[in-house]
Amino acid sequence: MNNRESLLKTVMAALFAALTFAATMAVKIPTPAMGYVHAGDCIVLMSGILLGPLYGGFAAGFGSMLSDLAGGYALWAPGTFVIKFLTAYVAALLYKRLDDKDTLRRPARTAISGLAGETVMVAGYLAYDIAVLLIINAGTEEAGFVAALTQSLSEIPFNAVQGLTGVVLATILVPIISRIQQKAA
């Protein structure tokens, strides 16, 4: 990659980080247990698919982490960075793999790779939520793993809805943005 391509990817990553932050902060629906549902995962997936695993992963992780910091969820910010990075990373790798085989149309590739990425998100937050609850409740009767697991499991449906919303929106938007990118190139 030459200097011009590297600069362009860096600028696009910064733009996608800002878009991730904005989409996450625009509409936040709090969940009963610990988190909130938002449309930012659409941009997380688009970051990975359109920018590739590393640039897209950093854009997704950084923008999402900033949302947690700005939105009062600082305890989740480190986990969010890693989880959203991995969400975009996995989606990007699978999208590229499916693209290389050229067996599926772009919306199908986006949906399949998005579902894989969002599965990482749901599993990642389950593990992180359990860890956070065990740390917060250390030394109390509620410190048990079963209590942490039970509360964390209650977040899965909300994370799944958020992930599926991101997949549907990305499946609609990726072909449109890709066509715009091709015309600009």
pLDDT in tens, 133-163: 888 887 666 568 888 888 899 999 999 999 9
Q: Can you give the CATH number for the domain in which 148 is found?
A: 1.10.1760.20
DSSP-assigned beta bridge partners for residue 30: 36
User: How many CB atoms neighbour CB 171 within 10 A?
Assistant: 21
Look-up of token digits 């943005």: 177
Q: Give the rounded distance of the alpha carbon of 150 from its chain centre.
A: 23
Tell me if 94 sits within 8 A of 116, measured CB to CB.
yes
Q: Which structural domain, as residue segments, surrounds residue 153?
A: 3-184
So what's the pLDDT on residue 7?
92
Picking from 117, 73, 69, the residue whose alpha carbon sits closest to that of residue 92 is 117
**Measured CA distances, 163 to 15, 123, 133, 153 (Å):** 21, 11, 22, 15
Domain count, the chain: 1
Put simply, whether the predicted model's pTM sits higher than 0.85 gets the answer yes
Angle at 124 between CA 64 and CA 177, to 5 degrees: 45
Picking from 77, 75, 59, the residue whose alpha carbon sits closest to that of residue 67 is 77
pLDDT in tens, 35-63: 788 999 999 999 999 999 999 999 999 99
Picking from 118, 148, 147, 114, the residue whose alpha carbon sits closest to that of residue 132 is 148
Backbone angles phi, psi at 36, to 5 degrees: -155, 150
Q: Is 37 helix (H, G, I), strand (E, B) or coil?
A: strand
DSSP H helices in the chain: 3-26, 40-51, 53-70, 77-101, 106-136, 145-153, 156-184
pLDDT in tens, 70-119: 999 999 999 999 999 999 999 999 999 987 665 568 889 999 999 999 99
Tell me if 55 sits within 8 A of 12, measured CB to CB.
yes
